Amino acid sequence: STARQCREEISAEIVGRNVDENAIDDPRSLYQIPPLRYDSVDPELPLLKYDYPQQVSVFGKLPKRAIQIPKYTGGSTTPDFVYRIERQDADSVYLLVETKAENMRVGDQVILDAQRKFFDMLRRQNINVEFAEATSAPAVFSTINGLIEGKVN
């Protein structure tokens, strides 16, 4: 297997097509902002602008193809967001989130199934990772709060 290096810089377009120049920088964000890059106004923009609890030590939108999870239909998929959540009585956990509109397309279910199976496999190998699908920002906030309190998906 080939080891990959982390990149210091990436093309902004692979993070998001849209730009918000008025975002306030949060040192926990994966990227220096402003500008804030996103694809959809709902739920991505509120997720990127939210004032997360201090237990969220890192968060951000993942670049396209950052984690290449194979789909059985061909190609690959990457979750939209990553959060590192510090827990007082347990190891930190990474939450990966795939956001979808409430009126999902047929292909979206293939993406969700592939990601869910991939992260379930990692969890069975005792890797502290959780996966959630979300159609709204409040659903993600609720999942994060549950993980802070020690609950798992």
Q: Could you tell me which of 138, 123, 109, 130 has the C-alpha nearest to residue 46? A: 138
Report if residue 35 sits inside a domain: no
Identify the CATH number of the domain in which residue 83 sits.
3.40.1350
Residue 107: count other Cβ atoms within 10 Å of its Cβ. Answer: 11
Residue 104 pLDDT level (bands cut at 50, 70, 90) = confident
Q: Judge contact between 29 and 47, C-beta under 8 A.
A: no
- Report the distance separating Cα 35 and Cα 52, nearest Å: 19
Handedness of CA 150, 112, 137, 29 (dihedral sign): positive
Asked whether the predicted pLDDT for residue 133 surpasses 70, the reply is yes
pLDDT at 92 over 90: yes
Residue 122, phi then psi, degrees to nearest 5: -65, -40
Question: Which tens digits make up the pLDDT trace of 3-41?
Answer: 666 677 777 778 888 999 988 889 999 988 788 899 888
Q: What is the pLDDT of residue 3?
A: 60
Instruction: Give the residue-averaged pLDDT of 51-76.
Output: 94
Position 138 in a domain: yes
The answer to whether residue 28 is domain-embedded is no
Give the pLDDT of residue 153.
59
How confident is residue 114, by pLDDT bands cut at 50, 70 and 90? Answer: very high
Residue 32 covered by a domain: no
In a domain, 78, yes or no: yes
Q: What is the mean pLDDT of the chain?
A: 90
On whether residue 33 sits in a domain, the answer given is no
* Average confidence (pLDDT) over 116-122: 97
Instruction: Identify whether 24 is part of a domain.
Output: no
Q: What is the mean pLDDT of residues 60-83?
A: 93
Rounded-to-integer distance, Cα 91 and Cα 81, Å:
20
Which residues form the domain of 47? 40-148
Number of domains in the chain: 1
Q: What percent of the chain has pLDDT over 70?
A: 95
Residue 5 backbone dihedrals phi, psi, to 5 degrees: -95, 145
Instruction: Read off the pLDDT of each residue in 114-142 and give the average, rounded to a whole number.
Output: 96
**Any domain includes 8:** no
Residue 134 belongs to what H/E stretch? strand 129-134
